Amino acid sequence: MPSSSKKPIVIVTRRLPDQIQARMMELFDTRLNESDTPLSQAELIEAVKSADVFVPTVTDSITREVIASAGDQLKLIASFGTGVDHIDLDAAKERGILVTNTPGVLTEDTADMAMALILAAPRRLVEGDRLARDGAWGGWAPTAMLGQRIWGKRLGIIGMGRIGQAVARRALGFGLSIHYHNRNRLHGEVEEELEATWWESLDQMLAHMDLITIHCPSTPATFHLLSARRLNLIRATSFIVNTSRGHAIDEAALAKLIEDGKIAGAGLDVYENEPAINPKLLKLDNVVLLPHMGSATIEGRLDMGEKVLINIQTWADGHMPPDRVIEIEK
């Protein structure tokens, strides 16, 4: 821990909300990235050499090489984000570097966006907006812009943690039948509250759903969880929504199946190779594409920033920060 007479050097990789940056400048010896240009690997390596605390975001790749380049004074990586798959946790632990994140503050925002995509894809909202803006709309017609009703349809939720459950609560209000696949079955009272049916087999659930939404964590086990084989189990009238991690879906296989009419469409906020998007997806009118904005609310970003500040201040005060993701011996 730094001495009480010296403020820790805190290096931040991206621009954060003004209120958070102002508070960070008051509390610590803070170096900001006012240009908001993502740092290259070489720049990340250079930045960690002088930091006591490093504040990356989920798009910064904090590899073993980056961590190996850190000075001995680096003791805390206070990540601005919930996921930590962008950080080599083993390398950090070996160096005795604490890693913290900002859990629990983006649940409702992400669930809102998932619900928006669940509505937007089947009802062709983006197509309709484009038609109206392009001046190509000739007026109302009985068979124009027909989408699919979601009331009474089956929603399959992959991953029933905080976000999955928040989506289920919203979906109930839209008359959807709630189904889920999770590594562990929920307690009976939670299932009853959500009117949710558990499927032990993901394959079987996929084959019976009208809408599928993904809310699983980023782990090696969830890479291409929806593989080409599993995507082929989905009905031709069904839609897929993803607001979790892009690599949960075999993107190329998904694009091909939608292109061939074997899946009805999709609503995507995340992609396998962000910020690059599969060119085939870009050509498909029945796919709603968003620029990873599921958690992008003013309130959410401020809440994330507050958690980063608390984690750093707690560490600077000589205590273990509350949101640590790995345990380091004192």
What is the rounded CA–CA span in Å between residue 116 and residue 206?
21
Angle between helices 298-316 and 18-27 (to 10 degrees): 10
In this structure, how many other beta carbons lie within 10 angstroms of the beta carbon of residue 69?
Answer: 17
274 is catalytic: yes
The burial of 175, by beta-carbon neighbours within 10 Å (0-12 exposed, 13-18 middle, 19 or more buried), is given as exposed
What is the rounded CA–CA span in Å between residue 280 and residue 198?
34
**DSSP tag of 95:** T
Whether residue 55 contacts residue 8, with contact meaning beta carbons closer than 8 Å, is answered with: no
State residue 87 phi and psi, 5-degree precision: -115, 135
In three-state secondary structure terms, 146 is coil
Quick one: three-class SS letters along 6-23? CCCEEEECCCCCHHHHHH
- Which of 245, 247, 272, 301 is flagged as catalytic? 245
- Which of 46, 193, 259, 274 is flagged as catalytic? 274
183 is catalytic: no
Token pair listed for 153: 């349809």
- Which of 15, 31, 235, 292 is flagged as catalytic? 292
215 is catalytic: no
Active site residues: 245, 274, 292
